[in-house]
Structures are given as C-alpha cells and as structure tokens.
Amino acid sequence: MRIAVVGASGYAGSEVLRLALGHPHAEVVVATGASTAGRRIRDHVPALAALVGERTFAPTAEVLEADVDVAFVALPHGQSQHVVPELLERGVRVLDLGADFRLRDADTYERWYGHPHERPELLGSAVYGLVERHRDELPGARLVAVPGCYPTATSLALGPFLDAGAVERAGMVVNALSGASGAGRSPSDRLHFPRLAANAETYGLITHRHTPEMEQEIGGSLLFTPHLVPVSRGMLVSAYARAREGMTTDVALGILRDRYADEPFVVVVEEPPTMKDPVGSNLCFVSARVDPRTGWLLAMSSIDNLLKGAAGQAIQAWNVAEGWGETLGLPLTGVTP
C-alpha cells in the first residue's frame, strides 16, 4: 500500500517511517517535515541512511496532493485538524498520532487544550487505536486516533481491574516516569543537557492534557503526575486504586493473566517491570500488587514511549484495520542491555 508519513522529522514520525520502511505491505511514497523540507532524510535521521538513500523530506502540503492509501500523521497537537479532514475526503485511511481526535467531547477538548476543536463532527467517527481494548472497532476504520504514551501504559495497567469491578473508580492516582524523547524533538530549557542530566522533575501538574484521555478510556477519576527523567526513551507507570474486598496480589495477577493471555504485545510479569525492559519493542510489561494493610492496589506497566506509546501502536492499529496479522512489521523483543 502507498504510505505517507506526515511529520516524519519528529521522533514519533521518524519511528513510523522506520517501521513503515520495513513493513512488508508498505511502500512509503512521501515523508514530510515542516522545518526540514528539502533536506535529505539521512542527514536528519542518520539511523535511516541505509533505507532512505538520497530521499528528502517533502513540505507538509504535499501529502494533500500525493497518491496514497494511508497517511500516518505525526504533527504537533492542534495541527492534525488542518490536514486530516481533507485526507479523509480523498478516501485516505488516516492514523493520527496527535491528540486532535482522541477525545470524544469537543467541550472537553477545548477545556484541556485551550482552543476550540475545528472539526468536532469527526470526533465521533474516530476509533481509539489502543488495540488491546478496541480491537473489534478497528477493522475498516477510516480515522484512527492513536493513543498517547501515558494513557497507553496507564490503561493497560489499570483497565483490567476496572473492567472486572475489582477496584474503585474514583480517586485513582497515576505516577509516571518518561524518557526525554516523549517531549518531542524541539529543544527547550527543560531538555537542555545540563538541566536534564542527573535530574528528575514533575511537569504538567494537575493539568496534564493526557488526564481526560485516561479518564475517558478507563472510566474513572484520577490524579496524574508525570515525571521527566534523564533517559532518551522508555516509560514506567505506577498506578494506585482502592481495592475491593477479596483482592489479593494473587487475584490481581490472575486478572492480568486472564485478560492478556492472548495478547501478543502484553507481557504479565510477577516482578515489577523496569523502564528498560520494553525499549526497542512494541511490548508492554504489566504487574500488580495489593497491600492488605492499606487496601490499595498498585498496578505497574512499562513501555517504549516511541513504540507502543506512539509509532508501534500506530502500525499495530493499522495492521488490525487492514485485517492483517497484528504483529506484522513490529518488534516483539526489546534491546538489552
């Protein structure tokens, strides 16, 4: 199939490009970059040199004229709305890695993102692309809203317990550590090496935009606190919820094992997952503990924020939308050490 990668010069976009170039059913015909148009891809992303040859980034507008079947859109939040509607009108399947079509309610979008949604009529038609929870909705989907990295890791950790009625839906707490690549490729004071190295900091306190996405997906209220740590990629989530009577660690692990028994990309482990375990793969590691003294469930997960948290997730959702094998073109093993 003829593929466009829009925003291919960013971290998530270049990962989509890398995966698409190795996918057996994909022919990448255009890769765009707003600030890199005309520049050789290999000069911007040297890791892709052996696959891209002398190809250059195209201007973003070129995707609206290109003959493509599928477009992966990896633009900054708020910009997809200017591209996606026209692509859909031309019959192109769209997988949007931004946040523009993840929330179902336009008022919620405006409240958390600070501006009105320009195409609210499309919100109801977008399928949330977390395959493990929306697999049946994806076949044939024309617009897929690829989930954010924090909501992915959180939903896969807490979702099974909420679905089983094993925890309270109110008052959940989510703490998450993310590698610096989650903040994107654009430089900033927060990502400046002297500040980032040997440091850790919280950000987006109480107002992080992924909060309503998590609450929408798992159906409960939560306090979310993200932390930036000095690694390039990876994500580790510790999520807390009040356990209902009868919950033990063995029961909690059993819920996870039953829920994910047939999922190729979710690995249930007894020991707490580490941030490094899934790096380089599309895997999510999950585990759980129940503290009988306080009555809290602790659900844990780790992902590669650029793969299962972005590009790998997009390819996985595309595979399902097309009716292909779910693992096609995706790494099932991480990189160690």
Strands (E), the chain: 2-6, 27-31, 70-73, 93-96, 127-128, 143-145, 172-178, 201-202, 222-228, 235-242, 266-268, 284-291, 296-303
Which residue is catalytic, options 28, 126, 146, 149? Answer: 149
**Catalytic residue flag (residue 284):** no
Stretch (H or E) spanning 51: helix 49-52
Identify residue 58 by its one-letter amino acid code: A
> Side-chain half-sphere of 67: how many Cα atoms within 13 Å?
0
Pairing, β 284-291 against β 27-31: unpaired
CB atoms within 10 A of CB 333: 10
Are the beta carbons of 154 and 208 closer than 8 angstroms? no
Are the beta carbons of 255 and 297 closer than 8 angstroms? no
* Closest of 334, 311, 332, 333 to residue 26, by C-alpha: 311
Query: Any idea which residues carry the catalytic annotation?
Result: 149
